[in-house]
Structure 1
């Protein structure tokens, strides 16, 4: 296979980038020949849908300027202690994100993955895969679309479908009634694994992870497609490397950190939407019909 690396406009209309066509061809061959596709998705998957990039303090503050004025970083806000000490601050942050994720339409790459019949492992809590029509999504860090008790008084987890939190855009604090636990009537919080979180109820996430493990053991010729997963929080990368350890059939898509260890896999220095558009054109009709 010849090296056809060139510089050209990528499919998302972003700045010109060098595309490694040999790597794209190899990735498409892996996908076309696979019995099953496992997607391991990090935060970069949602960026192409217009979701904010929380990479570093400045990326977070670009998305939420009021927090820069307050001197608050993402890691400080994503701490469950605030639901006890300052619930209006905590729900201001998560209530705004809940509304944002509900309004965000998944980019076209999600439909490509569905056409391949892919299963999903993700660290994202935004629910974009479900919004795109996926039924089997293992959310290792939970979901903002589910609630639990702050205490918690029980292991009960329930949908946040009827939750609407009003947020003051100047202070980013919640105003008005806050979500309540349906068991004890106390404060509820998102069913998300936060930093230093000893109160998270892992039930729904663990059941989905167990189901994914059983599915992986039932398939052969598995290809793992890792999308937008960085090294800062390596949960998704570790899962992708574990799932592809036996075969080396790993495709790592990342515009900043695409390298694969020991050459075991294909490296694509691209964003998720651009890579999926390119791979969709190169894969066989049999794979595109799932």
Structure 2
């Protein structure tokens, strides 16, 4: 099967599920969570997008970044990856996006509903998101592992030390003085390491100079939880995970569902909800509106 054929099959399955009454699937999902000894939550971009942090939506760009829309962009993703931007435009756009996604956007209701479903239960979160919505919603910080870190922290680009510092004041300074039409910022507002004066960079995985102590603090607890889950009635609750980086959540979740005899998978995804045939009997597929599904599950669980 070609890539195009696979994507068409995913789209067809998503449309099929979106047209069905999801109530039986939601009831089964709630039942699985209530019977689980371990719950491993995998949260990705689709979960935040369900609450309005949608980088692929023209409506969101028009609403929250009207100047970028006026420049001819259709989505925030398109603007942030435009190769024709100047360096100072790029830095201005990154700062504006960080303020929006990490600091100014309210806690998304879908995260509140999700927390209500698992609070008091034995859960751990694995997330590729960089917006810290899990932390802002009140999930136990000792039960969250985000290997890519968030967009909140800065570090030295050398690095001369392993210090990290919060980026909110940096982002606000950049945005306060940038051109509101072009998003070009001032070079003097770009951050530098307070210790050696080198340029500062965001503390995110992918850089050769990545300072990892903060992001890896929960790795060992997560790995212990994962090992314990292999022997228990475990539910993988996968939320909004597509194919941008499937190797972190999507592929391991479905692989462990196949390998662990007492594991089940709940996959919620607007565009890619289908699971492999060999684990379909131990899985729940939910397409459509993820925020609505989580809210309905919360109501079902509280009956």
TM-score, L = length of structure 1: 0.76
| Equivalent-residue separation in structure 1 for 2:114 and 2:185 (angstroms) | 36
How far off is 1:243 after superposition?
5.1
Deviations 1:39-93 (A, max 9, x none): 10110111132212248xx899776434749xx9467469xxx9xx93x344212
| Structure 1 alignment gaps of length 5 or more | 1-15, 286-290
Q: Which residue of 1 aligns with 2:110?
A: 109
Q: Which residue of 1 aligns with 2:266?
A: 251
Task: Give the structure with the higher percent helix.
Answer: 2
Match runs of 1:75-114 below 5 Å:
76=81, 86=87, 88-101=88-101, 102-114=103-115
How far off is 1:34 after superposition?
1.1
RMSD: 3.0
Question: Are the aligned partners of 2:107 and 2:137 in contact in 1 as well (CA < 8 Å)?
Answer: yes
| Equivalent-residue separation in structure 2 for 1:243 and 1:183 (angstroms) | 45
Which residue, 165, 170, 176 being the options, matches 2:181?
170
| Equivalent-residue separation in structure 2 for 1:152 and 1:139 (angstroms) | 22
| Equivalent-residue separation in structure 2 for 1:205 and 1:74 (angstroms) | 27
| Equivalent-residue separation in structure 1 for 2:193 and 2:59 (angstroms) | 33
Q: Which residue of 2 aligns with 1:189?
A: 201
| Equivalent-residue separation in structure 2 for 1:239 and 1:145 (angstroms) | 27
Q: Which runs of 4+ in 1 moved over 6 A?
A: 58-63
Question: Are the aligned partners of 1:54 and 1:74 in contact in 2 as well (CA < 8 Å)?
Answer: no
Count, aligned residues: 258
The 1:149/1:89 distance shift into structure 2, 3 A limit, reads farther
How far off is 1:201 after superposition?
2.8
Which residue, 272, 276, 290 being the options, matches 1:261?
276
Q: Which residue of 2 aligns with 1:238?
A: 251
Question: Are the aligned partners of 2:156 and 2:201 in contact in 1 as well (CA < 8 Å)?
Answer: yes
| Equivalent-residue separation in structure 1 for 2:194 and 2:256 (angstroms) | 38
The 1:90/1:210 distance shift into structure 2, 3 A limit, reads farther
TM-score, L = length of structure 2: 0.73
How far off is 1:105 after superposition?
1.2
